[in-house]
Amino acid sequence: MGKKLAVLHTSLVFIERERFLLELLRQELPGVVLQHLVDSTLLADVMAAGEVGKGEVRRFWALVRAAEEAGADLIFSTCSSLGPAVDAVEGLARVPIVRIDEGMAAEAALRGRSVGVLATVPTTLGPTRSLIERQGRKLGKELEVRERLCGGAFEALMAGDVAGHDRMVAEAVRELCREVDVVVMAQASMARLGEALAGECAVPVLTSPRLAVALLRRRLLGG
C-alpha cells in the first residue's frame, strides 16, 4: 500500500468549496491514500470566538491523534485559521503536520521584503502573518507584512454570492499589489482567482493550494 495522507478539515462548507484542492491532491499525489478527517464546526467556533482557544486546540489535537491512529505518514491541515493549533500540538505529534499555507509563506518570503496578506476571515490574518515572518527569519530577512481584511467578501460567499465575493477580492488584490513586493491570498477559497489576478498585477500574487500540494508531494514522494 502507498503512503497515507490524513487531510484535516474544519468546516463541511469548505469541503464543498475546496473541490479544486481535493482534485489537485488526487492528481498530484498518485498512489497516496487520502484519508479525510472532519470537525465540521471547528472553524465556525474559532471565528465566533475571534481566536483559537484551548478548547479548539484540544479538538484539533483529537483530529491529529485520529490521523496517527489511522496510520498516516503525513498530516495536512487545510485551515489557515488553525495555525496556532498546529503550533500548539506539532511538538507532541508523532506524525509531521504540514499547513496549507506553509509552501505559500516560504515562497512569499523568497519573493520580496514587503508582503501583503489578504484575507476574508479575520482569524486568518494573524496566523498567516506569523508564518510568513517565521519563514523570513529562516532566510535571515526582516519582512514587512501588511494585513488587509476584505470585509464582507466571506459573508457574500457564504450567502451564495460568488460574483460579489470575487469582485471584492479582486479589487482588494489590485489595491494591495500597488503597495508591496508580493501579495498572498491567505485562504484556499480565493485560490481560483489567483491566476487571473496574477496576470493583471505587476507583482507576484500567490495562492496556497498548488504550493501546498507541491510541498506534500516532496515530503511524501520525494519529487
Domain 102-208 has CATH 3.60.10.10: no
**Residue 74 and residue 8 in contact, taking contact as beta carbons nearer than 8 Å:** no
**Residue 204 and residue 198 in contact, taking contact as beta carbons nearer than 8 Å:** yes
Quick one: cell of 7?
487531510
Q: Where are the domains of the chain?
A: 4-100+210-221, 102-208
* Domains 4-100+210-221 and 102-208 are alike in CATH topology: yes
Calculate ∠ Cα 118-123-127, nearest 5°: 75
May I ask the CATH architecture of the domain 4-100+210-221?
3-Layer(aba) Sandwich (3.40)
pLDDT tens for the 223 residues of the chain, in order: 689 999 999 987 666 666 778 888 999 999 999 999 999 999 999 999 999 999 999 999 999 999 999 999 999 999 999 999 999 999 999 999 999 999 999 999 999 999 999 999 899 999 999 999 999 999 999 999 999 999 899 889 888 898 999 999 999 999 999 999 999 999 887 888 887 787 888 899 999 999 999 999 999 998 5
